[in-house]
Amino acid sequence: MRWKTLLGSLTCLLALAGGALLAEHGQVHASAPTRVSLDPVHVRIAAAPTAPASTLAPERREADMVFGHDETRVRHAVGEAFRGGRIVTGATPHRLILFTFDDGPDRRSTPRLLRYLDETGVRAVFFVTTSRIEGLGSRVDTQADILRDIARRGHLVGSHTVDHPQLPLLETDEAIAQIEESQAAIERVVGARPWLFRPPGGSRSPRVDRLLADRGYTQLLWNLGSGDFQVRTADDVVDTWRRVLERRERENGERGGIILLHDTHPWSVEAFPRIVDWLRRRNCELLDQGEELYDIVDDPALFFAARQSGDDASTEAAPATPTETVLALRQRRLRAEARQRCQRLATR
């Protein structure tokens, strides 16, 4: 698998340069700083049948290292509650916000992000490229420790393959290796296999969807890109993300969704608390206007929908729409918190 790292990285860079994160109505568009990538690529390649992989757990020594014998925390960390779901696109007509981070962990930037997450009280989903936690050397050992720390702090861990190739472009046995070797690496480090998966570049096909569904994965995509692979400053990341949010609401009626950032980029890490601050300040205005507030959620629960009989592997979840009761309860709590926070901001 190591010999494929360079090829996988080159494939990723070529895809990003060509706007691989933007696919409107199935068409791929080139991206530029003023028109950032929004959507995953959806590569349509003929499906190929495959047999489901075994999900038997190997040794659990790492689970003891991370959580003692607390199996509940282990299962939470790897998103077991979200196994076997329809593909989540991130679309929602509500102001729900879920933060996700791809490609890490990185010893230079992820620890700082974890501090920011603690300071803001936000939980996130980390999609891990496992070449960063496998192998020999102090860098790999440190990044494996960081992944355990991510899980300890209550965040969710998902798979992002071994070395970030676009799966539809691989032979079936190569795609299976990327999926299963990444799964095994996370299990060795955290103590249990992951159930959430984000395909690199958002690149999908019916064949890849089936490979993942057969293994119980729920694909978690995104609808709020940040363009952070195209820029180099936190200000640009925040500005790009805001324009994407505004365009999503204007064009698609999506007032929230799943945010994609990369914890491997220092500018993305610095942008994260600024995005949270913008959302909370914006809530002060929305509170005065009597409108729905932005709700930063801890996990994908409100976006998740289990696969049903009759679904195929490519069935997508409907846009996230909580029941009126759930929405009212969450908004009531948010309004109470926002009143206190906005009063403090007003006195500064």
Read off the pLDDT of residues 77-123 as tens digits, 9 standing for 90 and up: 999 999 999 999 999 999 999 999 999 999 999 999 999 999 999 99
Task: Domain 58-346: give its CATH architecture.
Answer: Alpha-Beta Barrel (3.20)
User: CA 167 to CA 15: how far, in whole Å?
Assistant: 12
- The two counts, helices (H) then strands (E), for the chain are 10, 9
3-state secondary structure 49-61: CCCCCCCCCCCCH
What's the Cα-to-Cα distance from 87 to each of 36, 101, 202, 209, 236, rounded to whole Å? Answer: 23, 18, 11, 9, 30
pTM (predicted TM-score): 0.84
Instruction: Supply the pLDDT for residue 22.
Output: 38
What's the Cα-to-Cα distance from 214 to each of 51, 53, 54, 340, rounded to whole Å? Answer: 7, 7, 10, 47
Q: Bridge partners of 127?
A: 102, 158
Encoding tokens for residue 264? 């491997």
Q: What percent of the chain has pLDDT over 70?
A: 80
For all residues of the chain together, what is the average pLDDT?
87
* Torsion angle, alpha carbons of 113, 114, 115, 117, to 10: 90
What's the Cα-to-Cα distance from 204 to each of 26, 181, 258, rounded to whole Å? Answer: 11, 19, 18
User: CA 322 to CA 136: how far, in whole Å?
Assistant: 46
Q: Bridge partners of 101?
A: 126, 261
User: CA 33 to CA 30: how far, in whole Å?
Assistant: 11
pLDDT tens readout for residues 234-276: 999 999 999 999 999 999 999 999 999 999 999 999 999 999 9
Instruction: Supply the pLDDT for residue 197.
Output: 99
Per the listing, tokens 């003891």 go with 64
The answer to whether the CB of 304 falls within 8 A of the CB of 218 is yes
What's the Cα-to-Cα distance from 2 to each of 183, 189, 226, rounded to whole Å? Answer: 16, 19, 30
Per the listing, tokens 């505004």 go with 246
Which tops the pLDDT comparison, 57 or 142?
142
The answer to whether the CB of 226 falls within 8 A of the CB of 261 is yes
